[in-house]
Amino acid sequence: MNKKLILFDYDGTIVDSAKMIVKGAIEAFRMCGLPDPDPNKVRENIGKPLATALDSYAPKGYEVKPEMISNAYRKWYAEQGRLGLQDEPLFPGMFEVLHDLKNNKDVHIGIATNKSRIALNNGLKKHNLNNIFDITLTMDEAKAKPDPDMAIQAMSKLNIKKKSTIMVGDTINDIGLGVNAGINSIGVAWGYNSIEMLRNEGADFIIKDSEELFDTIINI
């Protein structure tokens, strides 16, 4: 039997990091001498590469480059991680799903995230997930989703075919990666984009909880 490769998004799929991301954006804006961004706009743009997301809610008329805000955000996030202060609880059932898949000899599991490497590593360490994945890819090693680069790299390194690869995520960037890579995609209903957005982007499956996620992965 051909092995499957299941690629998971991180924010909004494995962990609920919205509160942390919104707080980090506000702190980064303050570090750059800018007025606070609209928390709702920050949340709406979770899942996008940070520089792209900033374009959607950075105030006009200020001489601050997106890279400055982005660097301030990364610095704040890394420091929170170093201090063990990430406020990113696991979504219900995800720890068990990941372990059940890890124990399945017919499955590889990986992460494809638009987070930075340091932020992902800190999060995985906090949740005792740093040794569970066969491959993890971040924006530091690959082009940001929805570019298919993360899926292409993962399939190549683990020698898995497209038909045996699945992308699991909560935003249109995750589903877009699946579409652009020519692989199956599963949209999860507990994240930061609506079911309608995921469906319109081309999700092959929409699931409502971790139990349904496991069953869907096994039966594809």
Residue 28 has pLDDT above 90, yes or no: yes
Q: Tell me the percentage of the chain whose pLDDT exceeds 70.
A: 100
pLDDT at position 138 is 97
Residue 59 has pLDDT above 90, yes or no: no
Q: Are 28 and 72 in contact (CB under 8 A)?
A: yes
Q: Are 185 and 179 in contact (CB under 8 A)?
A: yes
Residue 12, beta-bridge partner list: none
Q: Verify cis geometry, omega within 30 degrees of 0, for the bond prior to 148.
A: no
End-to-end distance of the chain based on CA atoms, in angstroms? 13
pLDDT interval class at 56 (50, 70, 90): confident
Write down the CATH number for the domain with range 4-16+88-219.
Answer: 3.40.50.1000
pLDDT at position 1 is 62
Residue 191 has pLDDT above 80, yes or no: yes
Per-residue model confidence as pLDDT tens digits over 105-142: 999 999 999 998 988 999 999 999 999 999 999 999 99
* Fold exhibited by the domain 18-82: DNA polymerase; domain 1 (1.10.150)
CA distance 29 to 16: 22
Mean pLDDT value across residues 171-181? 97
* Residue whose token pair is 């996030």: 77
Residue 112, beta-bridge partner list: 137
pLDDT at position 50 is 79
Spell out the domain ranges in the chain.
4-16+88-219, 18-82
